[in-house]
Structure 1
Amino acid sequence: MGREKMLDFLKRVADGIAMMFGNNCEVVIRDIENHKATILYNTSKQLSERDEFTTFGKSEMDKLYKGIDIINNKGITENNHSIKCSTFHAKGNGYHFALGIHYDYTNMLMVHSVVSDLIHVGNDYEATVEKDEHLERQLDEFFANAVEFIGKPIAFMRKKERVEMVRYLHEKGAFSIHKSIPIIADKMNISRYTIYNYLREIKGLPEKISKK
């Protein structure tokens, strides 16, 4: 394929890509053969704000002259817009063109942030329920073992025995289970503050008087 036919083909490809992806997409065709990387065709000057025949600097031209396709790189424009960049080379007898595709996804970053917050979820519901049920069964088992350890029903326990029961539950790790204190307090028919004071007594801390 000759130079003019290839250039015409690339222009049609550029127009098709730009039309497909809308106003946020810019497709540029550069002439690498003339050692200036001249822009021969630009579907939209809004993204890069470059006029035709704008040239790259030496370091940028050196990268283009290697003729290596570059796919899905990140770029930042002078007005701080985020763009995705890809460059594809077309070489032949008497020509070397580079087709550059630039897509401005700045607005999508805002959408991504909103959507990420919207669809963010915690743990799996069924797994959480199963875990809670397992911990509840474990707490019931701890409690039954504690009653058996004391050797008498809750209703007949004195303070010393209730403290020993709380000590047993504490040593078994029952209070590390989420929301265990109100559950145990309810089962023992005492207040949560009493449980806290028993725990402080067990740990050798002064009793905390609750305000009523």
Structure 2
Amino acid sequence: MLASEIKFCLRMAKAIACQFGPNCEVVVHDLGTNEPEHSIVAIENGHVSGRKVGDGPSRVVLEALHSDTTKLQDRLAYLTKTEDGRILKSSTIYMRDDDGKAIGIFSINYDISAMKAMEEMIQGFVGPARPEKEAPEITHSVGELLDQLIEQSVRLVGKPAALMNKEDKIRAIRFLNDSGAFLITKSGAKVCSYFGISKYTLYSYLDEAKSE
């Protein structure tokens, strides 16, 4: 992103955060950086998720960096959660260049934990609780994000790594690749150690996963 674009986004972030108060976090990610582990270039009310300028990406950003950015769609009013369990209502808007390629992300995360608690209390009086799909977690450490993605890959397969056969491991590695996990520095070594495979085997499994 150009410096002028970042400055404008910073002004917009300040305005939105001021309008909606301390529960509203606004984050700007630069997708053009050569260091995807440090994609946040502007943030307001970072205490909501515990992040700051220079921190790493969320899963949404990793997937954006890994995908064809011309095909990415904005996501509005979906639920995420922080590491300490607070519920956020989030919107993700992609900023694009003249060719339609995503060059940045403008994200709004509003802490609705108190509202959700009140909703659940009222729901307890007026009717049965409604099951909800688990919200993805926002992290500020790429190491924590990688750990999350590895755990999700294991849940996807449905068995611990020690009991996985070749096909199971390829399925898990396909999920990690599609999620952008291998954009994280030194992720390959951690994945190899976790699944008990060599770097050569990892590359072989990646090739098979991509060809399917």
TM-score by length of 2: 0.48
Instruction: Report the structure number with the largest CA radius of gyration.
Output: 1
- The higher-RCO structure (CA 8 Å, 6+ apart) is 2
TM-score, normalised via structure 1 length: 0.48
